[in-house]
């Protein structure tokens, strides 16, 4: 994968801003460790950092449609993987287009030259890109349908800055890192259900999934090019099962395409195990070697596990069952507490915002180990959103709640805000309004009522409010070490098909994700196929908790700690004194989650010099 950035300005000559654009580009070096480049004109400047995966020699960017001595029609900075680029390349060649490289990047460029704003609807992949049309003097920013790849921007009086990550925009002196009341609400009230398009920093936005942004002099227009449509599902059980298998098989085969080493991430759950099994089958048919697989664990995690609705079983026995069954080349990455503590600062810099503490740190360390052997990894991420596997899909009290079901009955970090901050932010009102707005976006099926209608609503909330922070976490933490993570369950064809499968069929046999389990039953050991959902593992966190508690006591003694401009110091002090867990930004139970979050907020405010508005 790659990193892109750029600057559009109608008043100043950007050819005189090479140093600033280079600085913006350099912030994304971790996303693209293999190469970098910039392109300049008077009105637009583009920067690119490259992680070479396909056409290692020919995919240099920014890419133009003309030779070095010619004036281009268009210039492209692209971050992504296009899984149908060979078919599109053939089609474009038949229409008279000529290609100079073997890269999917050039296919995207030529597709825009041929089809314009209709080009994104023809793409199958994960991507975020910027294309500057030199003839129309128009900048187009595009993001993939499910929002797997990030793309941020800041519109200012005379133009716009953009980047794959906030750090690229923050590197421009024209942007100030500030937090307003909406940003505070996002950070403290809705960290587990962020608002689509909100960039947390004041004045920063994200291109929304399935949208493109067209920017010309005097006008900025957002266009939605993809959305789900609700319609009656007429396939029977056998046909539905076969269709899911067909779509998954095709998706995995497409996503195995790579000119660099590739692996799968394996947790022993049905999602990652299905992807691994289909990858092993495809590689075997093609006469290739075994699949490399990776899992994560912690010392003493098996004995420390206290099962709950989110973590039901220990991963290791199920991982081993899949490895033995499929014959993969497996590596288990074991992470002690001290390593997690050392990774916290790196993760904060990777995410440009407070995240999920040790869960982010462990993912970072896992990805760092994977990157030593592979450049690309396939993940089972998003299957629970697509097929309804999370506990909140099956909890009557959550389904009946008048808020995001995973927030029902939970206290968020907003409970710690100082009274005057709470009065300005109004976190309960903000959450309620965001929930109402989200419900209103659900594509309703005419005539659908009762529990079926509610489950469709919750499914849409899962795809649009729950899944985005998970995808963002995976992207930012993986790209921090130069690893590309692909997510087959986010293939838009599969998402569109699964969207209309009735709930009783999705939960075939009364089992969460029952239809998915049936679709891959013949590929995996029975104990793996029938394993209940078990979330991403958490460290037993004995030393981790002790160290963070000591850091919080130091923070409480620091009169200048910026976090206490937002948070009530005495409320936090009382909770620490009495050993009460602080409210966590995570939904899964974790006694250290709230403590971790608060410390990260303070570290972020200091490191990024965030002002409060």
Which active-site residues does the annotation give?
2
- The interaxial angle of helices 542-556 and 569-577, nearest 10 deg, is 140
Query: What sign for the dihedral angle of Cα 229, 235, 236, 238?
Result: negative
Look up residue 452 and give its two tokens.
Answer: 């079926």
CA dihedral 405, 411, 417, 422 (to 10 degrees): 50
Q: What are the helix (H) ranges across 194-327? A: 237-255, 270-285, 301-304, 316-326
Q: How many residues comprise the chain?
A: 613
Strand, coil or helix: 513: coil
- Contact between 212 and 120 under an 8 Å Cβ cutoff? The reply is yes
C-alpha–C-alpha distance, residues 575 and 557, integer Å: 15
- Contact between 244 and 498 under an 8 Å Cβ cutoff? The reply is yes
For residue 150, which of 134, 180, 122, 129 has the smallest C-alpha distance? 129
Q: CB 32: neighbour CB atoms within 10 A?
A: 24
For residue 593, which of 384, 369, 310, 334 has the smallest C-alpha distance? 310
**Residues in CB range of 532: below 8 A, 6 or more apart:** 312, 313, 512
Give CA 560 to chain center in angstroms: 34
- Contact between 249 and 494 under an 8 Å Cβ cutoff? The reply is no
Element at 166 (helix H, strand E): helix 166-170
- Contact between 248 and 265 under an 8 Å Cβ cutoff? The reply is no
- Contact between 351 and 360 under an 8 Å Cβ cutoff? The reply is yes
For residue 367, which of 330, 320, 342, 333 has the smallest C-alpha distance? 333
C-alpha–C-alpha distance, residues 131 and 140, integer Å: 5
Strand, coil or helix: 135: coil
**Residues in CB range of 553: below 8 A, 6 or more apart:** 576
Look up residue 247 and give its two tokens.
Answer: 């779509």
Burial class (CB in 10 A: 0-12, 13-18, 19+), 479: buried
């Amino acid at each position: 994968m790659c990193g892109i950035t750029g600057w559009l300005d109608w008043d100043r000559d950007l050819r005189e801003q090479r140093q600033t654009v280079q600085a913006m580009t350099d912030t994304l070096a971790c996303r693209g460790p293999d190469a970098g480049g910039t392109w300049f004109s008077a009105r637009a400047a583009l920067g690119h950092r490259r992680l070479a995966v396909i056409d290692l020699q020919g995919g240099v960017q920014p890419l133009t449609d003309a030779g070095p001595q010619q004036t281009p029609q268009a210039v492209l900075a692209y971050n992504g993987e296009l899984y149908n680029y060979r078919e599109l390349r053939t089609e474009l060649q038949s229409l008279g287009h000529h290609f100079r490289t073997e890269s999917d990047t050039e296919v995207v460029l030529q597709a825009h030259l041929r089809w314009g704003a209709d080009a994104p609807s023809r793409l199958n992949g994960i991507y975020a890109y910027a294309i500057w049309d030199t003839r129309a003097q128009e900048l187009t920013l595009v993001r993939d349908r499910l929002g797997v790849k990030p793309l941020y921007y800041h519109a200012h009086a005379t133009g716009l800055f953009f980047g794959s990550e906030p750090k690229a925009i923050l590197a421009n002196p024209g942007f100030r890192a500030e937090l307003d009341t909406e940003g505070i609400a996002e950070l403290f009230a809705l960290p587990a259900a962020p608002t689509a398009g909100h960039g947390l920093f004041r004045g920063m936005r994200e291109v929304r999934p399935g949208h493109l942004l067209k920017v010309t002099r005097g006008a900025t227009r957002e266009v939605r090019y993809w959305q789900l449509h609700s319609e009656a599902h007429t396939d029977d059980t056998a046909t539905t099962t076969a269709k899911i298998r067909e779509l998954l098989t095709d998706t995995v085969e497409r996503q195995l395409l790579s000119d660099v080493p590739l692996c799968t991430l394996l947790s022993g759950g049905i999602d990652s195990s299905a992807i691994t099994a289909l990858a092993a089958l495809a590689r075997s048919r093609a006469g290739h070697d075994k699949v490399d697989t990776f899992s994560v664990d912690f010392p003493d995690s098996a004995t420390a596990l206290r099962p709950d609705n989110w973590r039901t079983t220990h991963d290791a026995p199920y991982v081993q069952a899949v490895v033995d069954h499929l014959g993969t080349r497996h590596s288990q990455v074991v992470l002690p507490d001290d390593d997690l503590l050392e990774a916290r600062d790196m993760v904060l810099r990777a995410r440009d915002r407070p995240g999920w503490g040790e869960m982010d740190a462990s993912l970072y360390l896992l990805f760092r180990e994977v990157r030593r052997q592979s450049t690309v990894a396939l993940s089972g991420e998003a299957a629970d959103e697509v097929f309804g596997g999370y506990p909140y899909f099956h909890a009557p009290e959550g389904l009946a709640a008048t808020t995001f079901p995973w927030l029902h009955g939970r206290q968020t970090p907003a409970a710690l805000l100082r009274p005057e901050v709470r009065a300005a932010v109004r976190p309960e009102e903000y959450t309620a309004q965001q929930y109402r707005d989200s419900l209103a976006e659900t594509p309703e099926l005419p005539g659908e009522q009762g529990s079926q209608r509610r489950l469709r609503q919750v499914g849409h909330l899962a795809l649009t409010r729950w899944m985005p922070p998970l995808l963002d976490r995976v992207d930012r933490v993986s790209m921090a070490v130069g690893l590309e993570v692909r997510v087959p369950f986010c293939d838009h064809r599969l998402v569109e098909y699964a969207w209309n499968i009735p709930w009783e069929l999705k939960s075939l046999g009364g089992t969460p994700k029952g239809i998915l389990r049936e679709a891959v039953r013949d590929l995996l050991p029975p104990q793996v196929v029938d394993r209940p959902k078990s979330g991403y593992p958490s460290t037993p966190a004995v030393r981790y908790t002790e160290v963070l508690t000591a850091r919080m006591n130091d923070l409480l003694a620091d009169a200048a700690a910026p976090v206490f401009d937002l948070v009530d110091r005495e409320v936090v002090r009382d909770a620490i004194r009495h050993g009460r867990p602080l409210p966590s930004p995570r939904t899964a139970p974790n006694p250290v989650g709230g403590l971790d979050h608060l410390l990260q907020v303070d570290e972020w405010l200091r490191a990024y010099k965030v002002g409060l508005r």
